[in-house]
Amino acid sequence: MSYRPKYLAHVNVYVRDVARSHKWYEDLLGLHTYDYRPGAAAFMSANEDESHEIALMQVGENAPLQAPGQVGLNHMAWRVESLDDLKEFYHRLRTMQVPITRVADHGISLGIYFRDPDGNGIEVYYELPRSKWPRQERIFARYGRSRTFPCPLGHGGRRSRRKTPACDRRQSQLWPGNRT
């Protein structure tokens, strides 16, 4: 027996209105609901072999929202299987008019950041197989100006307000309709 956990199994997120949040997570992320308790909680999962990966717990409409920079959870992350899946999800966000906070090329992964209706941070990302990581240590160290992934969805790297300077025509074609 080991003191080291096997993996992180779920997060428990406070929401103002569990019915609204349940529908939002189901519609946007396609999560499966294992248990729903109106006015109280929803237990949902992307991996149907898990009882839940997220628990939405209702705290009421007057509950204060987390302030930017406040101690607490910054975001939860949902991994997709391929870069094509991430592209599809990006277009889904755009179609559903979910504001994108930023898109970040981390060298080994490309993540899209946004917020749920209560301001909880969410990332949906694709990660390279470990055998393709540019390095095995200090994996999030800055790689200079080069990017691992093509033209990050029309966003300029770490901040979505800047334009990507090194986005050639071939890269832009990988992300059709990526104007922000």
Q: Residue 163's pLDDT is what?
A: 40
Q: Hey, where are the domains in the chain?
A: 1-61, 74-180
CA nearest to 50, candidates 75, 69, 33, 70: 33
Looking at residue 1, its pLDDT comes to 65
Residue bearing tokens 């979505």? 160
In one-letter notation, the amino acid at residue 103 is V
Architecture per CATH, 1-61:
Roll (3.10)
In 10 A of CB 156, how many CB atoms? 18
Task: Give me the sign of the Cα torsion angle 87, 91, 96, 98.
Answer: positive
**Tens-digit pLDDT profile for residues 56-112:** 999 999 999 888 888 888 999 999 999 999 999 999 999 999 999 999 888 889 999
The structure tokens listed for 48 are 């149907």
- Enter the CATH code of domain 74-180: 3.30.720.110
Give this prediction's pTM: 0.82
**Which two tokens mark 126?**
């694709």
Instruction: Give me the phi and psi of 159, to 5 degrees please.
Output: -120, 125
Rounding to the nearest 10 degrees, give the CA dihedral for residues 55, 59, 60, 64.
-110
pLDDT, tens digit, 9 for 90 and up, residues 20-61 = 999 999 999 999 999 999 999 999 999 999 999 999 999 999
